[in-house]
Copies of this chain bind each other. A is one copy, B any other.
Amino acid sequence: MMEIQIRLNPNLYIKDPEQSELGRNIIKHSIEMIHDVGFESFTFKKLAANINTTEASVYRYFENKHRLLSYIINWYWTWMEYQFSFYTGTVKDPVQNINALISLLVFELDDQFISAHINKDKLYNIVTSESNKLYFTHHVEEDNKARMFKPYKDLCHRISQLFNTYNAKYRFAHSLASTLVETAHHQLFFAHYLPSLTDFDKRKIKTELKSFLSHMAFSMLDSKY
């Protein structure tokens, strides 16, 4: 196990939550609460009550709850990129690496990194159901300029490079990368809540989802079309 210090873009916060007990508590309990009640009904007031501090104190760390969500989800993507490097850095076979990536996307790889105050299972759930809300807004462009999506874009870029080591001529490496990542989350969510949109059996979701995703990746990468 390795200790990681994930440093995120200072645009995401007013005061770095990693640098204080209260800050770490804010992160920890935000994850719990957003997971439990959903992002829409999560408020700073409720959070403050939950961790026995005041609304004003939370506002010293984050401009608003949207930024807090950004912080959490950026943490996730950064951490994913660490893991991606960890698993694909040494292995030279792109097929194996693509399969490792897919296991990573469905959250089935052993995690090598420690992070005391973050519940990763809940974090994964939050990312699955809330991450779209970060960019589907009227202020995407400003947020993008402020580098709020950098970790996500970086990860997708690395995935697209992996695709190109598998097939140097592939023309849709970036689109396939982002589609694969999005699809992993969406199909998992659908399998759970809107199962008629999928072909997966609830008992073996992850296995079947992985086979769908690798079917997708390799079919497309090998395609004659």
Contacts and interface: CB of A to CB of B under 8 A. Distances in A.
Interface residues of A, number: 51
- Secondary structure of the A contact surface, majority rule: helix
A168 to B, nearest CB: 14
B37 A138 contact: yes
Interface stretch (A7-15, A49-57, A70-78, A184-192): A184-192
Interface stretch (A85-93, A114-122, A195-203): A195-203
A61 to B, nearest CB: 22
A130 B135 CA distance: 10
A32 to B, nearest CB: 14
A45 to B, nearest CB: 18
B194 A172 contact: no
Interface in A202-217: 212, 214-216
A199 B225 contact: no
A215 B194 CA distance: 26
A166 interface: no
Contact of A38 (B130, B135, B137, B183): B137
Nearest to A183: B179
